[in-house]
Every structure is written in structure tokens, then in C-alpha cells.
Amino acid sequence: MTTQTQTITIHYLLSDAGRREALKRGLPAQAMQQVVVDPPPAVESQVWDRAVELSDVSSDGKASVVIGHKRGMNSDHRCWSTYAVSCVVPARYPTQAEDGPEIVESREKQFDAPQDAAALLAWEARRRVDVERVLTLREASQKARESKEKADREARDRASAQEWASLPLEWRAKADGVATCVPWSNDEKAPRYEGPLQTSGSTLYNREVLERYVPGALAEARAEVKRLQGEEERKRNEAEARRMAERGTWIRQYGSPRLQRCLEEGIEVGAAYRDERLALERPGWRWEEKVYGAKSEPRNPPAEAFQLLDEARATDPDAKLYHWAVEHDREECQKDSGEPCDCPKYVWTGYVAMSSFLGKAVIFGGPEIEVED
């Protein structure tokens, strides 16, 4: 027959009042109290069983119950000795899960009178049930909140997708793609943008959300994009065909023998054609890209400038007046002469007339210096 010698030590704290009460009763009055529970038959087996159930057993075999022990906390007696025991005591339960259950956590539970083992173990058992209950409620409330947030987000996404799908097709599809953006705006108070959407800017409708909730409307927009792209390409091809036909007609009628021969042989004649046609139809005009310098808006032009403009308008009524300047290339000059350059800043300044011909900028007047091919 074996005799059980193992005991379980219950640790608990006494408050000021509790310590005075202990004094009154002639009991040890320290704040840190210990009650040693001996195995039956020294105590009722019910008390022993409860002590076992609530106990933590350290690696060296010491069994203890810390009253007000925080869940999951290691029952290290050193913690206890430094009063670092946290006590979780649910103070009140929420009536609605939404309110969020409340747990009052205090550093420690202090008793106002010395306790016996049965009372301490009953208190601790009830506390642990309470804590479990609150944690369960807290978890449920967390889950409920998360699922509500998810539902709200889905509802918002769905509404946003449906709003997009309800817009006119031509607002949702452009030749450069499916449109889900609105123009950038820093104005917070601006009324919500309404009108054709854009393919870049501030994203108003999330593409993934559209894919999820209105895949049909998105597919419809994508098909429209394709159609618009086809349309643009067709127009481009038609315009190009018209230009080529016009070029052929012109060359056959006015082109030089060389240009006509090129055309017959199917040799590319774009540049030569443009040059010949410019010379014939806009005498005195040159391609802007062939003339050194840069234009700027005219300011206070002299009378001669208007003479030039009138002359230009004789061949091109759309001609407009600009100031033109060619800067002296200081760097090049210093490199060539090896000396610091003190030449005037401009090689040429004056007025020119400008217009466009065959889709390219043309200039009337200006410096004689031409860009080499």
C-alpha cells in the first residue's frame, strides 16, 4: 500500500483589511498567503479533486493553485512573490454581442479575510468558468463583427459594380480600353463626377469588383473597346488610302518625270512628293523642320512683319505671324576658336509667317540657314 505524500499549495493575497482580519483571528497576517491542501483523508476528496483539477504542476513536481491566475500564465512562484500575478475577473457580461464583452483585468485579487481551501477553490473555479464564457463571447462578437464588415464591403462592391454597369456603354468603353476612372481632382468639395469615364485618372470603379459582380457588363464594354479600335483602324486605313490616291493623282498631273517614274516603279516617294508639291503650291514656303531656330509669340511687330504676313497669305490664307530666333552656338564657337566667345546671343531674329501643309508645319521668311538632311 502506497501513501500519497504529495500536497497542493494554494496561493492567494490578503488586502489591508484582510491582513487586519487575520491579525484579529490570530493567524499569519502577511499579504501572500499559502494554504496547503493535503490529500484525503486529511481533506474531503471533493476539495482535493478540485484542487488537482485547478492545479499547475511545475517541472519539478510542485503542485500549486494560484488564485486569480491569468489564463495561460506559467505558475511560476517568483511571479507570485513579486505580486506580478494578473487576475482576470469578468465584471459584467454584455447583453448584446455587438457591444463587445467586457473583461475587467486587475493586477490581483485580494481577499478581505483569510480563506480556507474549499472557499478559495470554489472562487477560482467560478472565475475560470466566467473567464471562459467571456472569452467565448468575445470571440463570437469578433467573428460577428468581421462577418458584418465582409457583408458590408460586399454590398458596397456590388452596388458600385451595378452603378458602373448601369452607365451608358459609351461612357464605359473607349478605344484605348475599358473606362473606370474619373479625371484627377484635388477639390474635395467637387460634386461627384458624372459623364464619360476615362481609362486613366482617379480610379472610381475597381476592375476586380466589376469582374466579380457584373462580368456581363464588363464583357460588353470589352467588346465595345474592340469595336471602337476596329473603327479607328478602319478610318486610319481609309485616310491613308485617300492620301495615297491623292498623291498618285497629283504626281501624274504635276510631278517631275523622275517622281512619275518612281511612282510607276512603285518606289517610295513620300518626301520628294511633299517637297515638289510645296514648291509648286506654296512658293516661298519651307518645311519648318528644315529651318534653324525656334518660334515664339510675336510682340510688338514692326510694319515690315505685316508685309511679310500679307505676302505669305497670298499663297496660304491660314498663315500666322510669329517671332523667330536663331541662337548663336556658343559652345561650338569656343570649341572652334579656342577662345571665349563674346559674339551676340542671336545669329538671326525677325518675323516669319507659319502655317501647315500636307499635315506638316511650314514657314515663310526666316533665316537662310537650313538644316542639312
Shortest spacing between CB 322 and Zn ion, in angstroms: 26
Is residue 371 within 8 A of residue 290, CB to CB? The reply is: yes
The residue among 372, 356, 369 whose CA lies nearest residue 281 is: 356
Shortest spacing between CB 352 and Zn ion, in angstroms: 24
Is residue 358 within 8 A of residue 278, CB to CB? The reply is: yes
Shortest spacing between CB 305 and Zn ion, in angstroms: 27
Tallying the residues shown for the chain, one arrives at 373
Task: Select 146 or 336, whichever has its Cβ closest to Zn ion.
Answer: 336
Please give the torsion angle defined by the CA atoms of residues 38, 43, 48 and 54, in that order, rounded to the nearest 10 degrees: -80
Shortest spacing between CB 334 and Zn ion, in angstroms: 7
Task: Select 26 or 344, whichever has its Cβ closest to Zn ion.
Answer: 344
CA atoms of 115 and 18, how far apart (whole Å): 10
The residue among 267, 287, 266 whose CA lies nearest residue 275 is: 287
Burial class (CB in 10 A: 0-12, 13-18, 19+), 340: exposed
Shortest spacing between CB 317 and Zn ion, in angstroms: 40
Alpha helices in the chain (DSSP H): 16-24, 45-54, 77-81, 117-166, 169-172, 207-213, 215-254, 257-265, 270-281, 303-315, 330-337
Binding mask 19-38 for Zn ion (x = CB under 5 A): --------------------
Shortest spacing between CB 293 and Zn ion, in angstroms: 17
Task: Select 118 or 341, whichever has its Cβ closest to Zn ion.
Answer: 341
Shortest spacing between CB 327 and Zn ion, in angstroms: 11
CA atoms of 210 and 198, how far apart (whole Å): 16
Shortest spacing between CB 325 and Zn ion, in angstroms: 16
Lookup: cell for 86: 494578473
Shortest spacing between CB 295 and Zn ion, in angstroms: 23
Task: Select 24 or 330, whichever has its Cβ closest to Zn ion.
Answer: 330
Task: Select 23 or 343, whichever has its Cβ closest to Zn ion.
Answer: 343
Task: Select 202 or 334, whichever has its Cβ closest to Zn ion.
Answer: 334
Contacts (Cβ under 8 Å, ≥6 apart) of 147: none
Binding mask 153-172 for Zn ion (x = CB under 5 A): --------------------
Task: Select 268 or 331, whichever has its Cβ closest to Zn ion.
Answer: 331
CA atoms of 283 and 229, how far apart (whole Å): 40
Task: Select 89 or 341, whichever has its Cβ closest to Zn ion.
Answer: 341
Is residue 65 within 8 A of residue 56, CB to CB? The reply is: yes
Query: 3-state class of 88 per DSSP?
Result: strand
Task: Select 71 or 335, whichever has its Cβ closest to Zn ion.
Answer: 335
Task: Select 118 or 325, whichever has its Cβ closest to Zn ion.
Answer: 325
Pairing of strands 346-357, 360-365: antiparallel
Binding mask 318-357 for Zn ion (x = CB under 5 A): ---------------x-------x-x--------------
* 323 dihedral zone (left: phi>0; alpha: psi -120 to 50; beta): beta
Shortest spacing between CB 344 and Zn ion, in angstroms: 8
Please give the backbone phi and psi of residue 357, each rounded to the nearest 5 degrees, phi first.
-145, 130
Is residue 126 within 8 A of residue 67, CB to CB? The reply is: no
The count of chain residues that interact with Zn ion, using the rule CB under 5 A, is: 3
Residues 271-310 that bind Zn ion (CB under 5 A): none
State the residues that interact with Zn ion by CB under 5 A.
Answer: 333, 341, 343
